[in-house]
Amino acid sequence: LDVSPSAEARVLVINTGGTIGMMYHNNVLCPEPNALVKALRKLHILHDEQYAQQTKLYEYYEHPENTLVLPLSKQNKRIVYTVIEYCPLLDSCNMTTDDWAAIGKDIEKHYEKYDGFVILHGTDTMAYTASALSFMCEHLGKPVILTGSQVPIYEMRNDGRDNLLGALLIAGQFVIPEVCLYFHHKLYRGNRVTKVDAGSFNAFNSPNLAPLANAEVDIKINWDTVWRANTTAKFRVNTQMNRNVGLLRLFPGITSETVRAFLQPPMEGIVLETYGSGNAPDNRADLLEEFRKATERGVIMVNCTQCLRGSVTTSYATGKALSDAGLVAGCDMTPEAALSKLSYVLARKDLTTQEKKKMLSHNLRGEMIADLEGAKLTLSDS
């Protein structure tokens, strides 16, 4: 038995709630407090009690009652993990900007003591939280991995165990300095994912970026895709987020009244979900006038496609109308990433509106393609 402390990695698990830890009450799933650690302690793939006893693990680490240890990994490491549980546990539908800040602050508080972080979270808004944390976490140097499940870990057939186990193994063993989302054997960049399936274990998709890792028979990291900010600055969490932001999806026959109502103060920024590669009606003077008036009074609008995959461009007359009306091109950002980026940028009181717009159109955390021109076509001799 290998008991060398040098072979141990430490991971902090922040259990915010979500399906993974829910139980049925009257045929409806609800969060179940103070149950997860007890359940994990009984699962051999998620806790090795014999090792804990032999190495006197509980004497060595703080919070022994919430500390567990995985069996020896293929890479001969022991992942020792400590679980913090939020009170109350949250259904992710109920999460707000404040909850994102709370998670961010907890990562910051424990940053030095752990090699990686796993956030247990409901799947419904996990893509929003992952995006928001990716912007809040400035100069991140360690893995922060959100995960959860479609079926509670207490059910017979469930995806919670595999998801938690995979997230722990990656967070404890690989230096991927990103906010990530791990689900169904795949590790994604957090601000690139969206929930695409309400009924399958394969619930998430990263439509415009390949996964960062695949955990099949072996765990394979796609190191070329991992984002490494060119920085040596100290990690910090910026929890300033502007809440006066919104998401507006275009549809045929949308009225200018609806748009005006949606854009009225205190709204300061919206993500407009347009058609195709960033198109909106160009024959609707009433609509375009609402957009123009809003941008003139300082509302910032980001143009994102309502298509799952693709990028906004300006190939069409109907797309050009929007850039003429002052909208920022959202490139290939997901609506979730664009909304949280907007919230993050709008909170920067030191910047002018023009500087904020510029920041929005630049790649900050790998949330959009770095160089739109260069990415499309490289000619052999021109």
Site residues for a second copy, 292-331, by CB under 8 A, read 305-312, 314-318, 320
Rounded Cα–Cα distance for residues 303 and 66 (Å): 45
Judge contact between 205 and 177, C-beta under 8 A: no
- Rank residues 23 and 358 by Cβ distance to a second copy and give the closer one: 23
Rounded Cα–Cα distance for residues 15 and 18 (Å): 8
Question: Footprint of a second copy on residues 6-25 (CB under 8 A)?
Answer: none
- β-strands 8-17, 300-305 pairing: unpaired
Residue 224 CB neighbours (<10 A): 7
Encode burial over 350-370: b for 16+ CB neighbours within 10 A, e otherwise. eeeeeebbebbeeebbbbbbe
Closest CA to 144 of 186, 98, 113, 175: 175
Q: How far is the CB of 283 from a second copy (least distance, A)?
A: 5
Of 166, 211, 269, 330, the residue at the interface with a second copy (CB under 8 A) is 166
Rounded Cα–Cα distance for residues 29 and 316 (Å): 47
DSSP 42-68: T-TTT--HHHHHHTTHHHHSS-GGGEE
- Site string (46-65) toward a second copy, x via CB under 8 A: --------------------
Closest CA to 106 of 120, 93, 94: 120
- Rank residues 63 and 265 by Cβ distance to a second copy and give the closer one: 265
Type of residue numbered 47:
H
Bridge partner list, 248: 272
Of 41, 228, 249, 297, the residue at the interface with a second copy (CB under 8 A) is 249
- Rank residues 355 and 361 by Cβ distance to a second copy and give the closer one: 361
- Rank residues 107 and 127 by Cβ distance to a second copy and give the closer one: 127
- Rank residues 76 and 352 by Cβ distance to a second copy and give the closer one: 76
> Which one is catalytic: 19, 123, 147, 334?
19
Judge contact between 201 and 184, C-beta under 8 A: yes
Q: How far is the CB of 378 from a second copy (least distance, A)?
A: 6
Written as six digits, the tokens of 298 are 């300082």
Q: How far is the CB of 95 from a second copy (least distance, A)?
A: 5
What is residue 242's DSSP assignment? -
Rounded Cα–Cα distance for residues 22 and 19 (Å): 5
Reply yes or no on whether 19 is catalytic: yes
Residue 1 CB neighbours (<10 A): 8
Q: How far is the CB of 354 from a second copy (least distance, A)?
A: 25
Q: How far is the CB of 33 from a second copy (least distance, A)?
A: 14
Q: How far is the CB of 188 from a second copy (least distance, A)?
A: 16
- Site string (143-162) toward a second copy, x via CB under 8 A: -------xx----xxx---x
- Rank residues 41 and 358 by Cβ distance to a second copy and give the closer one: 41
Question: Footprint of a second copy on residues 171-210 (CB under 8 A)?
Answer: 173-175, 185, 195-203, 205
Instruction: Tell me which stretch binds a second copy (CB under 8 A): 52-60, 101-109, 256-264, 360-368.
Output: 256-264
Question: Footprint of a second copy on residues 205-244 (CB under 8 A)?
Answer: 205, 215-221, 223-224, 243-244
Judge contact between 301 and 293, C-beta under 8 A: no
Q: How far is the CB of 152 from a second copy (least distance, A)?
A: 11
- Rank residues 262 and 352 by Cβ distance to a second copy and give the closer one: 262
Catalytic residues: 19
